Structure 1
Amino acid sequence: MTTNRRDFIRMGGALAGLTLTPELVSQALAQQERKITHLQVSVQPEPHGIIAAIHNGNQSFVVSQNIFDGLVTFDEELNPVPLLAESWETTDGGRVITFKLRQGATWHDGKPITSADVKYSIELAKKSHPVAAPTYFHLNAIDTPDDHTVILRFAHPSLALWHILYGVRTGILPKHIYEGSDPLTNPINTKPIGSGPFLFKEWVRGSHVTLVRNPNYWDKTKPRVDQVTFRFIADAGARAIAIETGEIHYAPVPSIPLAQVKALRERKDSPLLIDTVGWEANAPIYYFDFNLEKEVFQDVRVRKAFAHAINTKILASNAFFGFATPATGPIPSYQKEFYSPDGEQYPFDPAKAERLLEEAGLKKDANGIRLKIDNLPIPYDDNFVRAAQLIQQMLKRVGVQVEIRNFDVGTYFAKLARERDFDTASAFAAAFADPQVGVFRRFWSKAKATVRGGNTSNYVSAETDRLIEATLIEGDAAKRKQLIRDFQIQVQKDLPSIPLLELQFVRVISPRLEGVNPTPYGSYASVAEIAFKD
């Protein structure tokens, strides 16, 4: 790019009133010469919020991680890596963890990040976060002897603690902004003040969220782009075209219909990188939840009948185009250390399903219908709607008429949590790297359903609670593993939720990019390390 005389005069007008020293002119020319880098990221659907500490959901996490730093992040072996916490020490047999915070780190409004912010945020997570709360259950005290020291004191050691100290699970919020308000309804949530590598610029509903480079970020090597826009393209065809043509550079969450993903993978001439790296620690599992407040579902024979009526192999191949495998229990096989296939299994057997429904007193009427229910599929993409439609057809064959009710993301979670306005729901949840972090929340009676997740079925079992709570405090790895195995057997026996599929999510990456996070949590990671090769 060259700068001609007209450009220089235009710059001079913009700098009118200033003394045009050679140094100032040089800086102005350098700024004009510099190419502004703008990363375009696909996120679908539009999140109902963009602060991970407050809003649950993959789409929220992807945006939030760029605005907020957590205490730590992870490397490719899931070892903790410093962010706001510069160092830490574990003492008293794992019951006490002392963090030293990074000095010089500031909020986007210029105020320093202190131990008071961390204490406030962890106390909030313990009180209300569906994923983090179980692990913080035995947190007795948080000491802040100075502005840069935080001491967590637990009644028992927790082998899963590090997996919730990540910013997606324990988001660190500015206490001076949130204290004295309801964090869920604070108006700052739509224009957040964070601590991360990007500053919030704008949120145009139905279109995009744009962030710009934080010039005061503590890591002066990041971010490597000047601006990032998270785009919400509702039409699947338009979204796919935008990704294929390079208009969109990165899709960390599922953005292209899986049929098209499969076709792109098989095309040798496609330059796009399509893989499942970055989703390993998420370990998503697709399931069918019952609302156990409904009398008909309090009979376990009905729940088991539904399980026998659903062909999971057909779901995997026809709804998810092979990017899924049948699940055998509440813990996916991704969690190799904890997974057990020993729980009761419910193979596809429509005849057995009909017998169980008959035994439960559900007789067919003149039209062959024995039960009418609704199902709310999670509204993240068309694959889940297609899966719900297949389940609808399968249940119809055994005399169950299903009405599929589709909603936007916010309404969907409100129906499940606040309104309790559903019979069944088909959804997925991240199991994460440890059952204590991602699985227990769905089956523990103390993990109430909220708009951020939790025990949506309202399942209550004294034995399951005992196993979960014993796991939370068990410091011996072998004993803890046995408790988790027993948990799986108990839940499969009670079947408050049918485990259907282990999902394989994909990321789509432009060949122009470098520095895309390769860790097991990479799909959630900040884009601060991404840069354009050209």
Structure 2
Amino acid sequence: MALAQVAAPAAAPAEVQTGGTLVVASLQKPRHLNPAVQSGIATAVPGAQIFATPLRFGADFTPQPYLAESWSFSEDQKVLTLKLRQGAVFHDGQPITAEDVKYSMDVVKANHPFNSMLAPVSSVEATDPQTVTITMSQPHPAILLALSSALMPVLPKHVFDDGTDIKASSHNNLPVGSGPFRVTEFEPGQHIMLEKFDKFFLPGKPYLDRIVIKQYKDANSAGLALEAGEVQLYPYLDSTRLVQRLEKKSNMTVTDQGYAGIGAMNWLAFNTKHPALSDVRVRQAISYALDRNFVTKALHGGLSKPAYEPVVSSSPFYTDAVEKYDFDLDKAKALLAEAGYGEGGKPLALSIDYLPENEEQQHAVAEYVKAQLAKVGIKVSVRASPDFPTWAQRVSNHDFDMTMDQVFNWGDPVIGVNRTYVCDNIKPGVVWSNTQSYCNPEVDKLLASAAVEPDLAKRKEQYAQAFAQITRVAPIYFVNEAPYFTAYSDVVQNPPVSIWGPMGPMDEVWLKK
């Protein structure tokens, strides 16, 4: 199937038609709207509209000015200086200053699950009201990416710094922000209403009057709403059957652009503290019992690709030199027998969780895992969660045996990969951290070194060594690279197709009347 190639540049001012309401379909159910303390699509999409970030990115990995109009590094690459725009204000009219950026970076470093993202940052100073000085213990190759959309919202210190725990702050539900849209209504499980901020620091933007993020129970209902004209934009579409249906509509475009920054993949994660799953032979046996090619071809219609290691194949750090666990039932049975399970051994019963509202990419694969493991003598029960918060609570508190997760690379391993494997990121209550409880001090050293190594070739080698060690003991079975698409009606102009896609600001999106 041929997918549309969408140009990223903004329309010329004379072409833009301002006003109107963009309705965005979402299957995500955010608990709150503060991406400084939460990762993931659910919070990041509205968060990128509510909060500005120091930098932004376009269609490639070249940083662009946003709240910071310029930046510079010291000669040793250990000091980054940001110069903020003059006259920028928060939604309550208070000026955005360097103190707010310093406060926001401190909040993210202390509370965000991606603890490796700012690990080299030793201090952040507000040198003057418009200057932020970031001092790092070592060069940080991903620092500019970490200061961009979905990762570094600039919060108003005068609102959030009130002495309460920011993770439980009441301000997270209807936050005062710094971005192109202000939130006026948040009904969890139903919709998020975002209104144009008339004093946004980029003159003439945003083009839209409002954005409504409308939440649907499943992909099919969201797709029907798009076809009926109730919705104009449906991002993070991963139902291959729906993609094939919508691509045939003459008044619609379907594109796979806008997801380069996230590097999405599905995997089967093991709780390595489980009595049976603590045995590497059991994890390896399960890995050999599963067939990625069946998943990608039969279950996903050929629109996804097999995954083998912690990064996707489009990453510059992809190695293709890891233990892949190609499908082999005989090997699986032999390893289980060696571990004392299977035929003639102890019975083994496990449960598997999966992300809700993700039928094709998660639930269907979970049911496939159940059927496959029955062939090697493992009884699996599939445990459904009624909603994302329930799933997240179970997984983040390590209340699971196996779980189907969908995770992102987030552009650079230091942001989205290290977090899953480093020992000090085993944090109960934090989803998409090291919920597998995997810990290897040697891997910690490799990841820590790669996180601050300025030489790209050396970084690649360090990650290659780490990935080889991780896959050898299989805390995770990598299933497939998740296929993401955006479908939108022909009234939508300048759709969000930067590297961050819908997790970036939609200040340049407009509607043709």
Same-fold status (TM-score > 0.5): yes
- Is 1:155 the counterpart of 2:137? The answer is yes
How far is 1:505 from its partner? 0.5
Structural mapping, 1:98-177, within 5 Å:
98-131=81-114, 133-177=115-159
Kept in 2: contact 1:223–1:528 (CA 8 A): yes
Separation (CA, whole Å) in 2 of partners of 1:230 and 1:345:
39
2:265 to 248, 272, 285: 285
Deviates more, 1:495-504 or 1:228-237: 228-237
Give per-residue Cα distances to partners, 1:259-292, cap 9 Å, x unaligned.
1212333x3x532111110012211111111111
Kept in 2: contact 1:224–1:528 (CA 8 A): yes
Give per-residue Cα distances to partners, 1:32-89, cap 9 Å, x unaligned.
xx99511111011322222211222112111111110011101222111111111111
Aligned to 1:395: 373
Unaligned runs of 5+ residues in structure 1 are 1-33
Question: Which 4+ runs in 1 deviate beyond 4 A?
Answer: none
- Is 1:378 the counterpart of 2:355? The answer is yes
Separation (CA, whole Å) in 2 of partners of 1:100 and 1:508:
37
1:347 is paired with a residue whose SS is coil
Aligned to 1:329: 309
> Larger RCO: Structure 1 or Structure 2 (Cα < 8 Å, ≥ 6 residues apart)?
2
Separation (CA, whole Å) in 2 of partners of 1:149 and 1:260:
48
Aligned to 2:285: 305
Give per-residue Cα distances to partners, 1:249-268, cap 9 Å, x unaligned.
001222x7321212333x3x
Separation (CA, whole Å) in 1 of partners of 2:294 and 2:188:
37
Separation (CA, whole Å) in 2 of partners of 1:257 and 1:159:
35
1:184 to 167, 192, 195: 167
Unaligned runs of 5+ residues in structure 2 are 1-16
Structure number, greater radius of gyration: 1
Separation (CA, whole Å) in 1 of partners of 2:354 and 2:503:
23
Percent of residue pairs bearing the same amino acid type: 29
Kept in 2: contact 1:278–1:522 (CA 8 A): yes
Aligned to 1:27: none
Separation (CA, whole Å) in 2 of partners of 1:240 and 1:76:
26
1:401 is paired with a residue whose SS is strand
Kept in 1: contact 2:259–2:499 (CA 8 A): yes
Structural mapping, 1:12-411, within 5 Å:
37-131=20-114, 133-179=115-161, 180-254=163-237, 257-265=239-247, 267=248, 269-335=249-315, 337-364=316-343, 370-383=347-360, 384-407=362-385, 408-411=387-390
Give per-residue Cα distances to partners, 1:281-312, cap 9 Å, x unaligned.
21111111111111211111111001001111
1:105 is paired with a residue whose SS is coil
Aligned to 1:9: none
- Greater helix content: 1
How far is 1:451 from its partner? 2.9
Kept in 2: contact 1:373–1:423 (CA 8 A): yes
RMSD: 1.8
- Corresponding letter in the other structure for 1:468: L
Separation (CA, whole Å) in 2 of partners of 1:173 and 1:406:
36
How far is 1:483 from its partner? 0.5
1:332 is paired with a residue whose SS is coil
Kept in 1: contact 2:26–2:222 (CA 8 A): no
How far is 1:460 from its partner? 0.5
Separation (CA, whole Å) in 1 of partners of 2:508 and 2:346:
56
How far is 1:452 from its partner? 4.1
Deviates more, 1:309-318 or 1:351-360: 309-318
Kept in 2: contact 1:48–1:55 (CA 8 A): no
Kept in 2: contact 1:323–1:505 (CA 8 A): no
Aligned to 2:13: none
Give per-residue Cα distances to partners, 1:71-122, cap 9 Å, x unaligned.
1101222111111111111003110001111111111111111111111111
The change in CA–CA distance for 1:36 and 1:475 in structure 2 (over 3 A counts) is: closer
1:184 is paired with a residue whose SS is helix
